């Protein structure tokens, strides 16, 4: 069976004269789970930002995501400090989907709490719920399990897999990658 792919050809991205990605080429399958690995500063987050359209490459070509709607768990939670967990999770979607995602992630009793009233791990789960409720075509996860305990990592990974959309994930941790079951791996060095 043929699957769509994201194709990167000779992509270069420079910040302040320093090439974060230099002539990077890869084919990323748009199915299942793809894990991106590489040392800190290797350009994984920059690659994600290029794929999501938040940055433009200095040169090279990226194809395969033109008509896809990305859902994102950023490296930071990026929650609105003045909005409740439910309002945050409903950003870009509706409250019933957000409520469903929050309950799935074990935050059913915290719907009306503000980020400052929640722990770091809880806020991380709200950020994950927001991405799940959004219902994108591709799920981008930049170190999604930061601050989560083992049980909640598993619950979150199961919920993400159940979304049944391609997942692209940056993680340094082999055990975290294993939570998704079978996956492709792309190294960025």
Partner 1 sequence: MPSKRKLYQTALIALIYLLVWEAVSLLVGKELLLPSPFSTLSRLAVLLTKAETWLFSGLTLLRIMTGYAIGVISGVLLAVLTSRSQFAEALLSPLRAIVKASPVTSFILLALLWLSSDMVPLVISILMVVPMVWTATAEAILQTDIRLIEMGKMFGLTRWQIVKKIFVPSVLPQFLAACTTSLGFAWKSGVAAEIIALPKQSIGYMLYQSKLRIETTDLFAWTLMIVALSMLLEWLLVRGMRRIRHDA
Q: Return residues touching partner 1 (CB under 8 A).
A: 52, 54, 69-72, 74, 76, 78, 80, 82-83, 91-93, 130, 134
Taking the least distance from each CB to partner 1, the nearer of 43 and 70 is 70
- If you compute the radius of gyration of the chain from its CA atoms, what whole number of angstroms results? 17
CB atoms within 10 A of CB 170: 20
Chain centre distance of CA 135: 13
Least CB distance to partner 1 at residue 84 (A): 12
Tell the burial category of 48 from Cβ atoms under 10 Å away from its Cβ (0-12, 13-18, 19+): buried
Length of the chain: 189
Nearer to partner 1, 105 or 127 (CB): 127
| Beta carbon of residue 104, minimum distance to partner 1 (angstroms, whole number) | 18
**Closest distance between partner 1 and the C-beta of residue 91, in Å?**
5
Nearest to partner 1 of 87, 176 (CB atom): 87
- Which C-beta is closer to partner 1: that of 134 or that of 145? 134
Q: How far apart are CA 148 and CA 166, in angstroms?
A: 22
């Amino acid at each position: 069976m043929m699957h769509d792919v994201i194709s990167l050809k000779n992509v270069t991205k420079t910040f302040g004269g320093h090439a974060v990605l230099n002539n990077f080429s890869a084919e990323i399958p748009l199915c299942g789970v793809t894990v991106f690995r590489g040392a800190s500063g290797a350009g994984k987050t920059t690659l994600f930002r290029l794929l999501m359209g938040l940055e433009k490459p200095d040169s090279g070509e990226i194809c395969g995501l033109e008509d896809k709607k990305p859902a994102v768990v950023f490296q930071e939670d990026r929650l609105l400090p003045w909005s409740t967990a439910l309002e945050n999770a409903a950003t870009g979607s509706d409250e019933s989907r957000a409520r469903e995602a929050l309950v799935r992630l074990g935050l059913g009793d915290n719907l009306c709490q503000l980020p400052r009233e929640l722990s770091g791990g809880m806020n991380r789960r709200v950020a994950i719920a927001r991405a799940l409720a959004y219902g994108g075509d591709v799920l981008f996860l930049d170190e999604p399990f930061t601050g989560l305990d083992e049980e909640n990592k598993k619950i979150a990974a199961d919920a993400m897999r159940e979304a049944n959309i391609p997942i692209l994930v940056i993680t340094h941790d082999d055990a975290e990658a294993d939570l998704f079951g079978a996956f492709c791996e792309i190294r960025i060095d």
